[in-house]
Amino acid sequence: MKKNKTKQVALDDTDLAILALLQEDASISNAELSERLSLSLTPCWRRRKRLEEEGVIKDYQANLDRKMLGLEIMAFVHVRFAVHSDHTPEDFEAVIKELPQVQACHKITGDADYLLQVLAEDLDAYSDFVESVLRRQLGIASIQSSLALKEVKATSRVAIPAADRNRT
């Protein structure tokens, strides 16, 4: 199996400051971004474009309030496979990638093979998801769910320590 190693991109303090500002507000205009960085418009645009092209900035999105959309249930699901020697886990990954209810899927160490983060409208919808999707996947030995009682912290922001130090 071929391993994908992510190449690290060299970033200076200005690049890190751009990333920090965009994580705070991705809708910021290039004019405002360049002004806040005390950088002229064209070099600021070029840096932002390079960060996008190199894949440091993967995409832009709006962060939505799931509860305002009626998604009251957040479940963390441990999935364990009985056998790892066939293509069953890869088939599982392909299915999971297409499911909008699954917010995140991680292959993990420990007692389980995968950890899923799943959103549902209510317990009935979550139960339907488990029965109609997860239990139908071949090779799964166990499914263990934990329901979130309270969301203490949820973010998609990546810590940028060097930029944080420069902004104080």
Residue % of the chain over a pLDDT of 70 = 92
CA-wise closest residue to 88 among 136, 132, 140:
140
pLDDT at 166: 42
Round to whole Å and give the CA distance between 81 and 102: 18
Tokens of 88: 């069953």
Environment class of 136 (CB within 10 Å of its CB; exposed 0-12, middle 13-18, buried 19+): exposed
Q: What is the pTM of this model?
A: 0.81
Checking if the pLDDT of 121 tops 50, the result is yes
pLDDT at 83: 80
pLDDT at 84: 74
Domains observed in the chain: 13-54 (1.10.10.10), 66-147 (3.30.70.920)
Amino acid (1-letter code) at residue 151: E
What's the per-residue H, E or C state across 6-20? CCCCCCCHHHHHHHH
pLDDT-based confidence at residue 2 (cuts at 50, 70, 90): low
Phi then psi for 108, rounded to 5 degrees? Answer: -130, 170
Q: What is the DSSP letter of 62?
A: P
Checking if the pLDDT of 108 tops 80, the result is yes
Round to whole Å and give the CA distance between 2 and 10: 25
Round to whole Å and give the CA distance between 77 and 126: 11
pLDDT at 74: 98
Helix locations, the chain, DSSP H: 13-24, 30-36, 41-53, 88-97, 123-132, 161-166
pLDDT-based confidence at residue 3 (cuts at 50, 70, 90): low
What would the pLDDT profile of 17-63 be if each residue is shown by its tens digit? 999 999 999 999 999 999 999 999 999 999 999 999 999 999 998 88
Number of helices followed by number of strands (H, E) in the chain:
6, 4
- Over the chain, what is the mean pLDDT? 91
- DSSP β-ladder status, 140-147 and 102-107: unpaired
